Amino acid sequence: MTTAPQKRKYAEDYINYGFACIQNSGILNPQCVVCNETLSADSMKLSKLQRHLETRHREHSSKDPSFFKRMEIVSDQDLIQQALINNSRSPVLKLHTLYL
């Protein structure tokens, strides 16, 4: 008998390794708050997240978790600002984006 592969869920302590969670087509994926790279749902293993941080962002690997939390907030603000710029011709879309 074969068993279904285990579906991992995002854990709040993943931010300690520089990852926030985004939803893409109904699937939760880890997203690096430093480079905004989105990894597959299969990569939601602590060892893979830690490997990404240590190989791609070595200079940030010893940072305090509060650093990554600030990066997440800045990243969210940048996304909202970019959406406002892209939708500046449509006030309805602009207001809708603010309330997402």
Q: What is the pLDDT of residues 20-32, one digit of tens each?
A: 988 888 888 999 9
Q: Is residue 6 part of a domain?
A: no
DSSP state, 13?
Answer: G
Q: Is residue 88 part of a domain?
A: yes
Distance CA 29, CA 39 (A): 6
- What percentage of the chain carries pLDDT values higher than 90? 37
* Strand 19-24 with 27-32, pairing: antiparallel
Domain that holds residue 49: 12-98
Distance CA 73, CA 100 (A): 15
Structural domain total, the chain:
1
Q: What is the pTM of this model?
A: 0.69
Q: Is residue 49 part of a domain?
A: yes
Give residue 58's Cα distance to chain centre.
18
